[in-house]
Amino acid sequence: MIASCFRSSLLPAALLLAAPLLAQPISIESLLDEMADRDRLARLPEPAYTCRQSSSYDRGTVAPEQPGWFANMDRSHFVRVEEHDGHREYVMLDETGPGAVVRVWATWHGPGGKNFSDGTLRVYLDGRPEPVIEGPISRIIDGGALLTGPLSEGVSPATPYGQRGHNLYLPIPYASHCKITYQTDVLVDPGAYKGEALYYQINYRTYPEGTPVTSFSRRQLGDLRSRINGTQLRLLSPRASAAAGAEAAALTGRLPAGETRTITLDGPGAIRELALNLDAANLPQALRSTVLEIDFDDEPGVWCPVGAFFGRGYRSAPHRTYYTEVARDGTMRSFWVMPFEQRCRIRLTNLSDQELDIVAGGVRVGPWQWDERSMHFQASWRQLTKVASFREGTTRPGEGAFDVNYVTVRGHGVYVGDTLAVFNGTDAWWGEGDEKIFVDGESFPSHVGTGTEDYYGYAWCRPEFFDSPFHAQPSGAGNFTPGLSVNSRYRALDAIPFERSIQFDMELWHWRNTMVNFAPAAFWYARPGASRNVAPDPKTAALPVALQRSDVVEVFHAPNALEGEDLKIISKTGGITENQMLSQFRWSNDAQLWWRSGAIGDRLEIEFPVAAAGRYRVVASLTKAVDYGIVETTINEGAPVRYDRFHPNVTNDALELGVFDLPAGANRLTVRIVGANEKAVKSHMFGLDYLQLLAP
């Protein structure tokens, strides 16, 4: 399946009709105005459009019933390859218009995983042979060749394994056709790390035939510089950009456990700003177990824990997007425009067993002219709690992946964003999964992604904080280690209209078989009468939040163990030591002290504490596997004891190191590599799970 299967020939019938006459054509100016106009999202788009995505997703992804549905080689796949004057151009997008490219994301690495790319990106419009944009991809997307600022921005630092996530939100309208290509002097390789690997996503709109569009030109960037800068300043100042509205109600005061506070607003009108700041003994629990409900015109609209609604999960740094912000004092604000014709009812319910204090909060409401295009704001939340990251009966990452449904909506509306909070149960990346978005009953999704972090604007699993108008990672603590990560993506020009339905799925594709809490909140607008498949779930919202790994994963702990990963290393003559965390081997605390890349003769000295002087039987749990060596262990100045740690499978056992008179305070375990079993892979590894000091 290639991107060309999403062409305008598959537009809904309503979009194939002649477009309405417009006072002004679609242009960079009109799209910039639309991007910063939150009111526009709350009405059905005019002119109507579809939003689709072309990406480098693994073309083995064909159908749910076929094995490649979770294929993960999501790089260097293209629509086709073209020959041009002796060089090759790899076609990333080839679409008939009228339309507009509204988001480009990319990242890359060179042969062997090296961090570089200066391949050439070209954008051809309306069948002209000369590109309107041409230059190194790293300069075009976010290197300043077109503009600087949040519309052209990289997030997360470059790493030895790959570049950052590169994002271009500058709209590129076209009257009849758009083709985007890539050229590199290094073989573009989809799977073997021999050449350059390019990962990309391109979101684009298609308008009804006959819609007037003024195509992009480089000259316009200079002519419109002040207008572009003005738009970017608005995007960076969400509160200042909010339309004026009067303070309609305050939310401050005590909210005892189990109680609800209700506010009713008369219409017509639109919520312009919603603010909230909570104080509680257990603030993370309050952020997850205080639920915001909003009904519009007697129809359900929002049901979401407040932390998820404001994009912070239940533990995150202060941050700001164009639709939400969390201030340094903890005040959370939402700038979604939420219209209603007759009435609006807002409820805050404290589902926890603690009393909390709403120290700041209020609702700002402005006027709204309700019409046949007006929509209600909607939000849902769900959590898969302590869910196995692999499907039952599978043991390998790709085989274990499965789709998590964020939400399925039936009705007429526009999808505008989502927030994902994940508590990861182990020290491995959880987010290889791709988004799959089905619009109006598509048999194959018109949006297929290249990785969860790519969908959210960054790359290479990086845990660093970032915020931007349309995407944010206020917490990445759980990306590589056990902990909470929170990712948000909000949509403006890349909002996805739907006439009958939308189904948003995200693969849960983890590198390890562990347990996670996986909690997406989804946001959309819909005409009255729409329905969704995610029901309110107060039981799950009231569950204790995960603050440490044992809240999600059941961890074995050997009694009275001195954990190897916690012991101090005094010295080593070679090799690399690190803490290794793997849940499948039943190490105590699911971790061990791992010594690798050592050679015969290398020595490792480890300090272990003794609380009271005495005679002890010392027991060590040592790992054995196909690439582990033969070692000698010595306690303080005692005699060495030899152990062969070869085994065809990874396992461990408790070994008697001997009985010793140990002084109080610091003692020393010395490990020396002396050889390898003839059947072993000669890597000479060593792993210490734990020590126990037992009565002789």
* pLDDT tens digits for range 276-306: 999 999 999 999 999 999 999 999 999 999 9
pLDDT grade for 424, boundaries at 50, 70 and 90: very high
pLDDT of 3 > 60? The answer is no
Does a structural domain hold residue 548?
Answer: no
Q: In whole angstroms, what is the distance from residue 164 CA to residue 159 CA? A: 8
pLDDT grade for 118, boundaries at 50, 70 and 90: confident
Contacting residues for 418 by C-beta, under 8 A, at least 6 apart: 406, 488, 489, 504, 520, 521, 522, 523
Task: Provide the H-helix boundaries in 173-270.
Answer: 218-223, 225-236
How many structural domains are present in the chain?
3
Least-confidence region, from 117-121, 405-409, 443-447, 618-622: 117-121
Judge if 56 and 95 occupy the same domain: yes
Type of residue at 162 = G
Does a structural domain hold residue 141?
Answer: yes
How much is the pLDDT for 10? 35
C-alpha 323, offset from chain centre? 18
Q: What is the DSSP letter of 549?
A: G
Q: In whole angstroms, what is the distance from residue 262 CA to residue 279 CA? A: 19
Mean pLDDT of 621-635: 97
Residue written as token pair 């002789």:
696
Mean pLDDT of 589-599: 94
Q: What is the DSSP letter of 249?
A: E
Positive or negative torsion for Cα 145, 149, 153, 157 = positive
Judge if 362 and 438 occupy the same domain: no
Judge if 533 and 440 occupy the same domain: yes
H/E stretch holding 569 reads strand 568-572
Judge if 364 and 412 occupy the same domain: no
| CB neighbour class for 261 (10 Å; exposed up to 12, middle 13-18, buried from 19) | middle
Judge if 574 and 627 occupy the same domain: yes
Judge if 51 and 169 occupy the same domain: yes
Task: Provide the H-helix boundaries in 266-316.
Answer: 283-289, 306-309
Q: Alpha carbon of 385 to those of 287, 395, 511, 517, 544: distances in Å? A: 17, 20, 18, 5, 11
Least-confidence region, from 42-51, 244-253, 566-575: 244-253
pLDDT of 98 > 80? The answer is yes
pLDDT grade for 113, boundaries at 50, 70 and 90: low
Q: DSSP labels for 326-380?
A: E-TTS-EEE---EEESSEEEEEEEE-SSS-EEEEEEEEEEE-----TTB-EEEEE
Judge if 359 and 388 occupy the same domain: no
Task: Provide the H-helix boundaries in 405-516.
Answer: 452-455
How much is the pLDDT for 375? 98
How much is the pLDDT for 161? 60
Does a structural domain hold residue 556?
Answer: no
| 62 within 8 A of 24, measured Cβ to Cβ | no
At 199 the three-state DSSP class reads strand
Q: In whole angstroms, what is the distance from residue 339 CA to residue 170 CA? A: 28
Judge if 143 and 179 occupy the same domain: yes
Mean pLDDT of 380-394: 95
Percent of the chain with pLDDT over 70: 96
C-alpha 693, offset from chain centre? 44
pTM score above 0.75: yes
Judge if 478 and 361 occupy the same domain: no
How much is the pLDDT for 15? 42
Does a structural domain hold residue 551?
Answer: no
| 351 within 8 A of 542, measured Cβ to Cβ | yes
| 114 within 8 A of 89, measured Cβ to Cβ | no
| 437 within 8 A of 446, measured Cβ to Cβ | yes
Least-confidence region, from 2-16, 310-324, 632-646: 2-16
| Domain final residue, candidates 372, 406, 432 | 372
pLDDT grade for 23, boundaries at 50, 70 and 90: low
How much is the pLDDT for 251? 87
Judge if 504 and 405 occupy the same domain: yes
Does a structural domain hold residue 544?
Answer: no
Summary mean pLDDT of the chain = 93
Tell me the CATH number at 348: 2.60.120.1390
H/E stretch holding 290 reads strand 290-296
Structure tokens at 186: 């290094």
Hey, which residues does 51 pair with through a beta bridge? 205
Type of residue at 552 = V
Q: Are strands 568-572 and 87-96 parallel, antiparallel or unpaired?
A: unpaired
How much is the pLDDT for 585? 84
Hey, which residues does 608 pair with through a beta bridge? 667
Length of the chain: 696
Mean pLDDT of 524-553: 97
pLDDT grade for 195, boundaries at 50, 70 and 90: confident
Q: What is the DSSP letter of 119?
A: P
Does a structural domain hold residue 410?
Answer: yes
Tell me the CATH number at 593: 2.60.120.260
Judge if 531 and 570 occupy the same domain: no
Dump pLDDT digits (tens) for 240-277.
877 777 777 888 999 999 999 999 999 999 999 999 99
E-strand spans in 425-551?
A: 435-439, 447-448, 466-467, 471-476, 483-490, 496-498, 501-508, 515-526, 531-532
Q: Alpha carbon of 539 to those of 208, 214, 385, 488, 535: distances in Å? A: 45, 52, 11, 24, 11
Does a structural domain hold residue 144?
Answer: yes
| CB neighbour class for 340 (10 Å; exposed up to 12, middle 13-18, buried from 19) | buried
pLDDT grade for 162, boundaries at 50, 70 and 90: low
Judge if 114 and 152 occupy the same domain: yes
How much is the pLDDT for 569? 97
Q: How many CB atoms lie within 10 A of CB 602?
A: 20
Contacting residues for 82 by C-beta, under 8 A, at least 6 apart: 88, 89, 91, 181
How much is the pLDDT for 21? 46
How much is the pLDDT for 635? 97
H/E stretch holding 539 reads helix 538-541
Domain enclosing residue 201, as ranges: 3-240+373-539
pLDDT of 356 > 50? The answer is yes
pLDDT of 460 > 60? The answer is yes
H/E stretch holding 275 reads strand 269-279
Does a structural domain hold residue 114?
Answer: yes
| CB neighbour class for 443 (10 Å; exposed up to 12, middle 13-18, buried from 19) | exposed
pLDDT grade for 554, boundaries at 50, 70 and 90: confident
Q: How many CB atoms lie within 10 A of CB 560?
A: 10
pLDDT grade for 4, boundaries at 50, 70 and 90: very low
| Domain final residue, candidates 539, 570, 604 | 539
Q: How many CB atoms lie within 10 A of CB 224?
A: 17
Q: In whole angstroms, what is the distance from residue 641 CA to residue 365 CA? A: 77
| Domain final residue, candidates 352, 372, 392 | 372
